[in-house]
Every structure is written in C-alpha cells, then in structure tokens.
C-alpha cells in the first residue's frame, strides 16, 4: 500500500502527514508514506486543493485535514 500526502509543507499538510503515520501505527498495517511537495507533480495528479491524501494512486481526501478515524477507514480498518 502506498499513501501519498499532497501539499507544499504547510502546517495543515504536516498535520495530515502526522495523522496518517499515527493511523498506520494504530492499524498495524504496513504502508509506504510519501509527502509530495512539488507543485508541478501535485498539479499533474489533478489535485486542486491541499492537503490531499491518495491511497494507491487514488485521491480520497482533498482540501482538508482528515481525522485519524477517517484515515483508518481508508486503510480498511
């Protein structure tokens, strides 16, 4: 599983990454977590609002910081 966080590195993006990592720890699942900060890459993936979270290449959340419980649902927990 690959989880991508899209955002330039603002506090909301950093909080999203922290929550993703915490949710993974709670779930016991293993995943690669990547923070995509390059604006060209973000645009090429058609992400209009950050922070955004993609799971296995599919954007699931965009424009807000998800809760850890929301992230757990994305992980299938």
Integer-rounded Cα radius of gyration of the chain: 11
Check if the beta carbon of residue 60 is closer than 8 Å to that of residue 69: no
3-state secondary structure of 55: strand
| Contact assessment for residue 34 and residue 53, using Cβ atoms and an 8 Å cutoff | no
Is 58 annotated in the active site?
A: no
Catalytic residue among 3, 5, 13, 61: 13
Measured distance CA(53)–CA(63) in Å, rounded: 9
Q: Which of the following is catalytic: 1, 2, 10, 48? A: 10
Q: Which residues are catalytic?
A: 10, 13
């Amino acid at each position: 599983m690959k989880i991508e966080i899209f955002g330039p590195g603002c506090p909301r993006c950093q909080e999203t990454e922290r929550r993703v990592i915490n949710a993974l720890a709670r779930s016991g699942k293993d995943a690669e977590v990547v923070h995509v900060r390059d604006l060209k890459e973000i645009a090429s993936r058609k992400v209009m609002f950050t922070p955004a979270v993609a799971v296995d290449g599919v954007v699931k959340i965009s424009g807000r910081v998800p809760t850890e419980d929301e992230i757990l649902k994305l992980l299938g927990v």
